Each structure stands twice: as structure tokens, then as C-alpha cells.
Structure 1
Amino acid sequence: MTDDSTALRKRPVVLASASPARRGLLAAAGVPAIVKPSQVDEDAVEAAASVQSLTVPELAQLLAEAKCDDVSRRLGREDSGSIVIGCDSILEWQGLALGKPGSPIAAQERLHKMQGTSGVLHTGHAITDLSTGRNVGRCCSTQVDFAPMSEREIAAYVRTGEPLNVAGSFTLDGLSSPFVAGIVGDPSNVIGLSMPLLRELLDELGVDWLQVVSYS
């Protein structure tokens, strides 16, 4: 019997993100990815979005599309058969859009307020099939319940440096996992890329999942 997957043309995947977590999700699912971080000025995009009064999910999706478009435009002819994936994650907490805190003080203040509460992690997904020029995208949202944290725990966690460069100042798969009491929704979305949604979006583009994975 012939394995149908051998007849499918493999499609290279380009991840428009420097996030180790996103690359790790793809690798764990058997998807080899070429990492080409975008050069998008996120502050400029967010400033323009504030004028438009976008919701947090809309902002996350806008940033994901900007990253995907930026990398797609910079790829050469040799990449014409590639699938480009752009993502952006933002935590919505009590009406605020929380990206990366940027400094230890900001991270500590944020975690002090967030502990014992809940928020919603929105991840925008944008995918471009360079062989056809078609684009698809959607934002996925997951509720995150934060456990109470002591001031010593917060200070110790901030000193690790981990919360400084992640949306919402926490990770589900890292050092802060003991401080996440629970989630409602897709866990991979909280990490930075919804794998079930990625498969759905590829299907909308007419790309079979077996064209991007390597199980060997």
C-alpha cells in the first residue's frame, strides 16, 4: 500500500517571528520552519491602531498581518513556494492591551496587579501562500486564570528576565507555569501560535497539513 502523503508536494514554512516558543510549537508538531523575523515597527502600527480605536483582538490581528506582509515582500523568487506565517500575541486584562513590559519595574507592577485575576490572551494569525498570493488569517482568544503570587515570588520571577520579553509578562510553558491556575481554550494559542487554527487556515488555502510536516 502506498502512503498518500508521499505524493504531496512539500511546502516550506517561513515563520515571520523570532519567538523561540512559536518555533518550538511548530517543531514539536513536526513542522520545520525557516525563521525570518519581521522588521515591522510595532509601535508605529499600534499608534495608528489607537487612532482607529481597534479592539485588542483587531490589534493583534493587524500586527500579525503586518509581520506576515513584511516578510513576504522581502523573500526572493527562490521562496515562491513557501508558506509565510505571521503572529502577534497581546494579553487583554481589565480593558487594557498588555504586550511586552519592557522593564523589570513594569513587569513587577503588572504581575502584582494581575495575580489572582483573569485575562484573555489574543493571538493574531496571518498566513500567505507565496505560490498563489492568497492570504488568510484569524485571531484566536484564550482565557487565562492567574494564581495568587507572593511579592517574593513575583520579585524572583522578574529577576529571571523571562517576563520582560513576552506578552502579558508570563509564559504557559516556562518558569511562570506554576502561577497559571488554568486556561479556557487552546493552550498553544497562549504559547504564541494556535496549532489547531494553523491547520484550519492552511486548509482554507488548499494546503494539506501533510505538505508542511515531516514525520521522518
Structure 2
Amino acid sequence: MTIPFILASASPARRKLLQTAGIDPIVRQSDFDESKVPLSDTIALVTTLAQCKAEVVAKQWSDGLILGCDSLLEVDGESYGKPSSPQEAITRWQKMRGNQGILYTGHALIDKRQDQQLLRCGITKVYFADISDEEIAAYVASGEPLKCAGCFALEGKGGLFVEKIEGCHSNVIGLSLPLLWQMLKELGYKVTDFWNF
């Protein structure tokens, strides 16, 4: 079966996850204005943002599967996207250290061939190490936390500061591979249909 698989995200981490799983997606950034979705419920927010991103990109295709994703980290009942400045990243890490957070990733999969759409949310609990101010400053100075919704990259330097996770590992990186497998199955596809041999 030849059907295009389009990732509606410019995230290198999401693209790499898909490639590691055998899917080499066509990447199309949505440029959707996230401020248009003023929802306070975290699950509703990430799934709606994922849906909006996928729908913007889906308009450009007559065939294929379009995957949109959006992630937020909730700590002490407050949700966070990417930090807007190094100072914000430092303040956030001071709240995160020795604490735990919940990483929510909304997934929207649009099937243009069958005119169907699925929305799901991956939820993973993350336990952070009690790192020092010096380590926080050095990590933020590396620039990595500024590119990530949770202010850390599990697959990068941030992985040093995560003591354990409960739930899907890849969800923390930005895309739950087991959840994607389930969604593809629900639409009647086999993940192997998208493998590039």
C-alpha cells in the first residue's frame, strides 16, 4: 500500500521517533496560532491543538494520513508549554526539581482516504531529580530546555535529570508510538504498511 504519511510538526524529535519506528514522514509545519485555543483543561487543550495543526496541513493534501501532535507538562496543577526565555526556564526548573509532573501529548490522526479523524491523548508521569541551581543554570545555558514543551528533552541532556517515568517513554519525547500503532489499527492500517524497506 502506498499512502503518504504527513507529520504536521517541525519537531525534529517527533520526526526521529517516526523514523526510528520505520516511518519516514513528509514534514509540513502547520504554523497554527496556538493562542486561538484558550482552553484551561490540559487534555482538551493538547488534543484540540493537535487537531487544529493536523487540519491546517490536511487542507494541502487530497490523500494520506496527517498526524498532528501537541505536548504540555503539568506541574502542581499548572500547565506549561515551551519557556519563552532562559529566566522562565530557570524558574520552571526550580519548581520541577525534586518534584513530579505529568506530560500530556495530544495526537490527531486525519485519514484523507477514508475521511476519518481520531483524537487521543498520551499521559506519562515524570519524576525529576533534585538538581542544584548550578546544574539548572548550566542546563538552561545549553539552550535545550528552550526548545521543549516540558523544559527538558528526555532524549538529550535533560535525560540526566529524570529519575523515572510511569507510562509511555516516547510520549515524553513528543509522540506515543504505541498510541500511534493503536490509532493506525483502529483506522484499519498496519504500521508495516508505512515502513520504508
- TM bucket (normalised to shorter chain) is over 0.9
TM-score using structure 2 length: 0.97
RMSD, matched Cα: 0.9
1:25 matched to 2:17: yes
Q: Is the 8 A contact 1:102 1:165 kept in 2?
A: no
1:140 matched to 2:122: yes
Deviations 1:126-168 (A, max 9, x none): 0011112100120010000000111110000000111012112
1:168 match: secondary structure: coil
Distance 2:61 2:34 in 1: 24
Unaligned ranges ≥5, structure 1: 1-8
Within a 5 Å distance, the mapping from 1:154-193 to structure 2 comes to 154-193=136-175
Distance 1:18 1:203 in 2: 25
Counterpart code for 2:125: Q
1:196 to 173, 178, 189: 178
Within a 5 Å distance, the mapping from 1:94-109 to structure 2 comes to 94-109=76-91
1:67 matched to 2:46: no
**1:76 deviation in Å?**
3.9
Distance 2:15 2:118 in 1: 20
TM-score using structure 1 length: 0.89
Within a 5 Å distance, the mapping from 1:38-49 to structure 2 comes to 38-45=30-37, 47=38, 49=39
**1:17 deviation in Å?**
0.2
Largest Rg, 1 or 2: 1
1:93 matched to 2:75: yes
**In the alignment, what sits opposite 1:5?**
none
**1:14 deviation in Å?**
0.3
Distance 2:187 2:61 in 1: 21
Deviations 1:56-99 (A, max 9, x none): 111111110111111101x144xx1x110000000011110111
Question: Size of the alignment, in residue pairs?
Answer: 197
2:3 match: secondary structure: coil
**In the alignment, what sits opposite 1:57?**
43
1:149 match: secondary structure: coil
**In the alignment, what sits opposite 2:28?**
36
Distance 1:10 1:182 in 2: 39
Unaligned ranges ≥5, structure 2: none
**1:33 deviation in Å?**
0.4
- Structure with higher helix content: 1
> Identity percentage over the alignment?
45
